[in-house]
Structures are given as C-alpha cells and as structure tokens.
Amino acid sequence: MCGIIGAIAQRDITKLLLNGLKRLEYRGYDSSGIAIINSNKKIQRIRKTGNVNKLIKKIKKHPINGKIGIAHTRWATHGKPTKKNTHPHISENIIIVHNGIIENYNNLRKKLKTIGYHFKSDTDTEVIAHMLHNEQKKGGDLKEITKRVINKLKGSYSIVIMDKKNPSILIATKFKSALIIGKGINENFIASDQQALLSITNNFIFLEEGDIAEISCTNIKINNINNKIIKRKTIKSTTKYEVLNKNLYKNYMQKEIYQQPLATKNTIKKYLKNNEIKLNNLEDNYHLLKKIINIQIIACGTSYHAGLIARYWFEEIAKISCNVDIASEFRYRKPIIQKNTLIIAISQSGETADTLEALRILKKYKYLSSISICNTEKSSLVKETNFSLITEAGTEISVASTKTFTTQLTILLILITKISLLKNNKNKKIIKIIKKIPKKIKEILFYEKEIKKLAKKFLNVNNMLFIGKGKQYPTIMEGALKMKEISYIHAEAYPAGELKHGPLAIIDKNIPIIITAEKNKMLNKIRISIEEINARGGIIYILADQTIKFNNKKNITIIPLPHINSIISPIIYTIPLQLLAYHVAIIKGTNIDQPRNLAKSVTVE
C-alpha cells in the first residue's frame, strides 16, 4: 500500500519526485522519503514521518539535487511509522524503495545476520537491500543480481533500485504489485501509478509479472520472468492530468461529495446514447450476456457495498441469481462456480490486492466471462478481466470513497438494465430513471444544512448503530463505514429484522441510531423496528421520505428527504450519509482526507 517513484534525467529531478509523491499519497502517508545520487556520487537521503508535505518542508530547509533518484510514501506494514522504518533503505552503495510484503523476510533476515549484516529498521524492505549488496559481491551486473535476489523472495513486490557505484541506471522489478515506466525525451521514470507521472509524460510501459527493467536516460531494457529480453508495448495514456486543488472547498472529500452530480452525469453520458445503452467493448459480445445464469461479484470495502446493492438489482431487474463475496475471504474458500457465471470484480483503483488474487483464483474455474468495474483505465484489474466498464468519477483524492461509489452503482445499474433488456425483460423505463440520478443527487445536496445541524448531536458520541432494510441495508453499511473511517466513531450497520437477534441488548440513550426509511412495501417492517428501539429508550434519527408520516415522539428526530424512486434510492440515500459522516468529522477535528491508519489503494493483503 505504498507509493514509489523514480527518475533518471539530464536535469535535477528532486521537484519532479516530490510532485509525483504527492500524487501517490493515496497509497499511504505514514512517512515518506527521498534519495538522490548527486554529481559527486554521494547519496543524499531525507526521510520524514507523516505526510509528504512534511518531507517537502524539510527539503526546503535542506535542499538536495541530482539527476537520478527514488522516493517513497509509506503505509506501515512491517515496523511502526518511524524514521528508521521510512524508505528509501540503504545497504552500503545499494538504495531501494519497495511496495508489497515479503512473506519469508524473517528467515532471510536471520541468514543475513549470520553473515554479518546489521539491521537499522524493522522492515522487510531492508532485507532486500542487504541481499542485493551481498549478491553483488558474487559478481554480475545489477540486473543479474536483481534476478538472483527476487528468485529467493516469497510474496508481492514492486522494487526500484539505485547503485551509487553506477548512477547511470535504475533497476525496476515487480510481482503482484503494479509498476509502470514513463517514457520521456532523454529522461525516463518509474512509478506505482501513471497519476504520478502524467504531468511529465503520457507514454507508458506497463511491466508484467517477473519483469526486470534496466532504465537509463535514453534506453529501457526489459527481461521477462524467463529472463528473455522482451519489448513491451508503449501505450499512450488518454487519462487527463488533473490539477489537484480544493478550489473553494475545505477539503477534498467535501469537493468530491459535490462532484457527484457531474461524475454520475459523465458516467451515464458515456454509456447511454439516444436512450440506448452502449457498453463499448462489450458491444460485439452481447451474446455472452444473454447466456448469463449466475453472477459472482468480488470486491472489498466500499466496492463490496456497491456489489451488495447490485445483488438486489440483479435479482429484481434482470431476474438473475447473484452471489457477492468479500474478496479477502473469497480467496480462502472453495467456491462452487456455476456454468455460465459472469464474474464482476469491482475496485476503485484496480490495484486492490485481495480482489486481484480472488480473480486469479477464479481463473482456475470454468465461467462465462469477467468484467471489471473500475475508475482507473489501465489498472491491473482491467488488464486481467475480459471486459471493463470504467467509471467517469475523475481523480478521487480523499481516502473515503464518495463519487467513485455512486458512479460504481450507476454503472452497475446500467449494466444490469442492459442484461435485463437482452433477456427480453421489459425494463426500458429504467433508462429514464437512471437519467434522473444526477438531478436527484443535486437536489439532495440542498439538504446539507439539516444534516450539518444533525451532526452537532454526535460530538461526544463513541458508538452508533445504522439500521436499514432491503436495498437500504447495504446503503447504511456504507454510511456506517464512512462514519468509522473519518470520524473514528465505532459505527455498526444491521438489517432492521436482525435487531431482536442481539443488537437490542446494547440499545440505550448513549448510542444514537440512524435509520433510513423509504416509502415502499417494507415501510411497516421499519416502523416495527422503530417501535422496538423506542420501547427500550433508544435515541432515533430517521432519514425518511418526506411523504411518510411518523408519530411525534420525544426521542425520535425525522430528517425529511425528497421522494426517490426505489430503484435508485440506494444511490441517492448515500449522499446524506456521506454528509453526516463528513460534518461529524469536521466537528471532531479529524483529518478527513487522510484518516489515521488508512490508505486509499489497498495493494497488500
């Protein structure tokens, strides 16, 4: 879950590395560091705990410069977020940065200690640095040495290596962790993600599993996993470089909440043409969609909640059975995959390690086809599925997903509607409903004042319950997750019918309960749950369709919302839940865009 970047050029690359590092902060911000070899072949290394801005401030006080360098922003796995554990790590003349987890690092560390190596950190990365240094004594160039070392590693990694003795090349290698080369004119770059390099190039080489690349200013040589020299295709990226700024917003999360009408509008515009659904690269393969008898969705976190909502749609609209699994658990099951099953893998970044591994496990089974739903066009997930549907959310900076979630739901609803129509279900009216999503989101954003007022009630709260039914259950799961992520309140979500199976035991005046209530056939069931909570002295806050009438009671607060069509209600009801979590976090004074202990892209298990 770390971000790495490297550069070799005929100009000073310090600022370039730092700018790229800022773009990679979504991968972790426990600490960051940079190492540059200057014109005197001396290593200049600066490391700092905390986010990249702290590193930038330190470099302003202690300037460094050079034409070759590497940098890293860390999410702590092995070792606490301290300076000694911050990358880059050094072993004499060898300097490296690494993303991933080396599973056998402990045994390797013990062996290195027996031959005289001393460790200054608790990381698995320092093991790789010492192994490279040790192998160098046995001869061979840096690329050959790297090959010998990675053959001994178990786990996942993307690694960039510099050698003080030869400051004319960078070595890069990857296994189960994304790494791309950016091509310039008499300069080349390496990074975890193209976002880090889009300001300087849009020509990229995507390294494949086991590749080892030797990169100089003017040349790129790649050996594949079998050690054969190979020429990887250069791809011109169509991803637009977005200037990162908050404009008039307090932080990125607020900005991204308010970008949702445009993000969903752009997503709908991409796939709806003249009231017809056009699924781009699936256009010539609609015959496959007609064959579907089962859906298997794999995802993690917020994307998992999108999958749970999609299950209701698949069953209700397309009349297809649907299984949804948390990818990190699916990996360790022995699933039964039916014939003509469509696999749907959902991930904002397309680099979620558990989702990728679950997909790779599924490839051992016989299934119909696979589709990724992602916000990153050239991601690993997109490359590993048969087809992809890309959301038009734009860059999302805040760790807590907002616009990527609602665009995922929008694209899932579009896909499900298309499958339903292909199976001759008469659901064309849903297209008109989908087109209303941006307008309805915009409408509900006008209720922010009421939500902000409500948030003040939760300043001293430590625990919350979120209750929903039907499609509103996964919706309130997402609401509870947002509350946990950014306000640090312990929030749990339950289906309304499950209250009497345990949760009622913790109901008291100190645990506020958020309930979503829409006007549908399950409303009376929600009313029963409200009465059960009320009878036990619970404090209830109901986000409800304004046409619903509730009895006035002292411990019940109603926040009326506009009437929403039941099909798109999970998308629209998500917005006030996002706003509630946001304003509670504002009151509590937490770091909203970079909540503690988290990272946006979870690239390790």
- Active site members: 2, 600
What span, in angstroms and rounded, lies between the C-alpha atoms of 263 and 317?
A: 24
What span, in angstroms and rounded, lies between the C-alpha atoms of 204 and 566?
A: 44
DSSP state of 216: -
- Sort strands 463-468 and 490-495 into parallel, antiparallel or unpaired: parallel
Count of all residues that appear for the chain in the document:
605
Provide CB contacts within 8 A for 123, sequence distance 6+. Answer: 78, 79, 85, 87, 89
The string of DSSP codes covering 318-334 is: I--EEEEEEHHHHTTS-
What span, in angstroms and rounded, lies between the C-alpha atoms of 228 and 370?
A: 30
What span, in angstroms and rounded, lies between the C-alpha atoms of 473 and 275?
A: 30
Q: Which residues pair with 208 in a beta bridge?
A: none
- Asked whether 28 and 49 are in contact (CB, 8 A), the reply is no
φ, ψ for residue 338, nearest 5 deg: -70, 160
CA-based nearest residue to 437, from 594, 281, 572, 282:
572
DSSP state of 39: T
CA-based nearest residue to 324, from 417, 399, 412:
412
Collapsed DSSP state (helix, strand, coil) of residue 10: coil
Collapsed DSSP state (helix, strand, coil) of residue 439: helix
Collapsed DSSP state (helix, strand, coil) of residue 96: strand
Q: H helices of 188-313, where?
A: 252-258, 260-271, 286-291, 301-313
Rg (CA), the chain: 26
Provide CB contacts within 8 A for 316, sequence distance 6+. Answer: none
- Tokens 């499609």 sit on residue: 471
